[in-house]
Structures are given as C-alpha cells and as structure tokens.
Amino acid sequence: MSTADDSEAWTIRRVLTWAADDLKKRGSGSPRLDAELLLARILRIDRIGLIIDAERPLAKLELARYRELHQRRRAGEPVAYLLGTREFYGRPFLVDRRVLIPRPETEHLVEVGLTRTRHLSLSARTLDLCTGSGCVAISLARERPTTRVLAADISADALAVAAENVLRLGAYNVGLLCSDLFSALQRGRDRFDLITANPPYIAEGDVPTLPVDIRAYEPRIALTSGAEGLDTMRALVAEAPAFLARGGVLAVEIGAEQGQAVRGLFADAGLEEIVVGRDYAGQDRNVSGSRP
C-alpha cells in the first residue's frame, strides 16, 4: 500500500479491497472481517459506517496508522490483540498478550455452569480456575449478581488484566486470587457450589501445527500441558472434589478429542452425573459432573 505517485485516491472501499486480498494471500481465515475491524478502529466508526462512507478518501495520517496495524496483522498478530478487546457473552473484554483470547466455544462453559446451578441462582459460591482475562468468572457473576465468584490464576499478569475487566464491567461480586489451581485455598474450609476452568489442554507436540496467531502470540502457559495436553486437567479434576460442596458441580473446557479421557478422570475422582457437552461445531468441548 503506497501513496507515492498514486493518482487514484485510497478510499475506504479501495483500502478494504486491497487489504482483504493481501491478508487472504497470507492465510487469514477471515481477511475481509479483519480488514474491516482494523479500519473501523482507526476511523472510529462501526462497520456500517465503512459501507456508508465507502467512497471517502483516507487522510495521510489515517492511512499511515492503518498501514501499521495491517502490517502487524499480516505478520500474524491476532486482531483481538490489535484492537485490545474481544467480545464474550455479549460483553467487551480487554485482552492483550498476557491472556488467552476468549473464544465463542468457551461461552458453552458459562452456559453449563449457569444451567447446572440454576437451583442456587441466588447464592451459589463459584470458583473459576485458570481465569485469564476473567471472561468466564465475570460472565457468571454478571448473570447472577447475588452470587460470589472467586477468579484464580497462576499468572499475576493475567490477574492484572482480569482486575481491569472486573472494574470496567462492574463485576463487583468477583474476587481475584493468585493460585496454582487450588494451592492458595484451604481444604475443608474453602468449598464451592460450582468450579469452572478452561485449563491449558493442547499437547506440547501439537504446538507447531497451530495457526501462527496462536502459537506465536498467545501465552504458552495458557495453551499447553504435557504430552497429551492433560497434565493440568488430571491434577485439577483429582483435587476438585475436596473443594466442592455436596452436590457441587465441576465444569471444564476440553479439547475436541478429549471427551472420553476427561469423562474417565471425572469418574475416577468420584464425580457423578457426568455430561460431555458439545460446541457449535458439534465437537466435544466441555465435561461437567457433580459431587455426590
């Protein structure tokens, strides 16, 4: 994208056409959407505005600022990090390279938690492990403002992002805790009606096969866990019953091929009413079960 000796103006339409084509050649799965989101941010308008003002030429400064973002996206940096936000469960969450980018599939984890604790909707005590940006914890808290939610993560950097989201999204019933799974909690004292977690579950050997915007930018500690991707999951599920109230529910996100393996971990831990839930694509995506 050059403005030197260019007789044709770089209008919104022209920039988007060029940028989408360029990103498509470099393997983007959503080149037009990527280009529109970045340009809308630079121009401080929404995507409808891009259509309405399609023939408006960009000023030199606007073009320069867009070029900078486009180059970063071209190199593989995720759009969510470039924008600094990602929508999850209808709310805009701040995100950066300190945290995993929230995915639509993880919204199912929120739904499972809400559904399986519906009878405790006014008083449930909830623990969200591996909270990252806080998207699951905050969504649960905002859907049920009278409940108490504790969001825990081993990463102090991730908790700093979660704290910003707690304040911005008004989730005043959320507390934050730096903890390696249950390490900062006390057995016999700390018990919860619901424990949720989106732990790292990608096998170490699968990292080279991940898209560049995941493997090169998102925090490895939030992605991988051992040769099978189940090291953290095993520890989490084995310890969880000691921190569940009677009838309490554990719900975790899993990889698409891990449904039966994690179901087995739940059974070995003595959990009952075990359900393997699926995502929008029909793949196994979460497992939940209750303490007898």
CA-to-CA separations, 203 to 20, 36, 200, 220, 276, in angstroms, rounded: 32, 34, 9, 11, 20
Enumerate long-range contacts of 30-33, CB under 8 Å, 24 or more apart. Answer: none
Q: Which positions ≥6 away from 290 have C-beta within 8 Å?
A: 116, 244, 247, 248, 249, 250, 271, 272, 273
Q: Phi/psi at 142 (nearest 5 deg)?
A: -75, -30
> pLDDT band at 2, cuts 50/70/90?
low
Question: Looking at domain 12-75, which of 1.10.8.10, 3.40.50.720, 1.10.3110.10, 3.90.420.10 is its CATH number?
Answer: 1.10.8.10
**Beta-strand relationship, 91-94 and 148-153:** unpaired
What average pLDDT does this structure show over 7-21? Answer: 93
Question: Are the C-beta atoms of 135 and 101 separated by less than 8 Å?
Answer: no
Q: Which of the following CATH numbers is that of domain 98-290: 2.60.40.60, 3.30.70.20, 3.40.50.150, 1.10.150.300? A: 3.40.50.150
Cα–Cα distance measured from residue 22 to residue 117, given in angstroms and rounded to the nearest whole number: 47
Across residues 2-29, what is the average pLDDT?
A: 85
The pLDDT of residue 42 is 96
pLDDT mean across residues, the chain = 95
Task: Compute the distance between CA of residue 155 and CA of residue 172 in angstroms, rounded to an integer.
Answer: 21
Per-residue pLDDT reduced to its tens digit, 164-202 = 999 999 999 999 999 999 999 999 899 999 999 999 999
Residue 7 is predicted with a pLDDT of: 61
pLDDT digit string, tens, across residues 70-110? 999 999 999 999 999 999 999 999 999 999 999 999 999 99
CA 51/CA 71 separation, integer angstroms: 23
Helices (H), the chain: 12-25, 31-43, 47-52, 60-74, 79-83, 107-116, 135-143, 156-168, 212-215, 231-239, 259-268
Residue 120: DSSP 8-state: G
pLDDT for 264 equals: 98
Q: How many residues does the chain have?
A: 292
Sign of the C-alpha dihedral computed for residues 100, 212, 89 and 245 taken in this order: negative
For residue 192, which of 243, 117, 251, 128 has the smallest C-alpha distance? 243
Domain boundaries, the chain: 12-75, 98-290
* pLDDT number for residue 192: 98
Query: Is-contact 164 92, C-beta < 8 A?
Result: no
Is the pLDDT at 163 greater than 50? The verdict is yes
- The residue with tokens 């340009």 is 39
Check if the beta carbon of residue 197 is closer than 8 Å to that of residue 236.
yes
- Lowest mean pLDDT: which of 24-33, 163-172, 261-270? 24-33
Q: Within 10 A of 265 (CB to CB), how many other CB atoms are there?
A: 23
Residue 162 pLDDT exceeds 70: yes
Report the percentage of the chain scoring pLDDT > 90: 93
Compute how many other C-beta atoms are within 10 angstroms of the C-beta atom of residue 143: 15
Tell me the average pLDDT across 198-223.
Answer: 94
Q: Are 14 and 8 in contact (CB under 8 A)?
A: yes
Q: Band of the pLDDT at 5, cuts 50, 70, 90?
A: very low
Report the half-sphere exposure of 189 (CA within 13 A, side-chain side): 4
Fold match, 12-75 / 98-290: no
Confidence of residue 121 (pLDDT cuts 50, 70, 90): confident
| Helical pair 60-74 and 31-43, crossing angle rounded to 10 deg | 140
Q: What is the pLDDT of residue 27?
A: 85
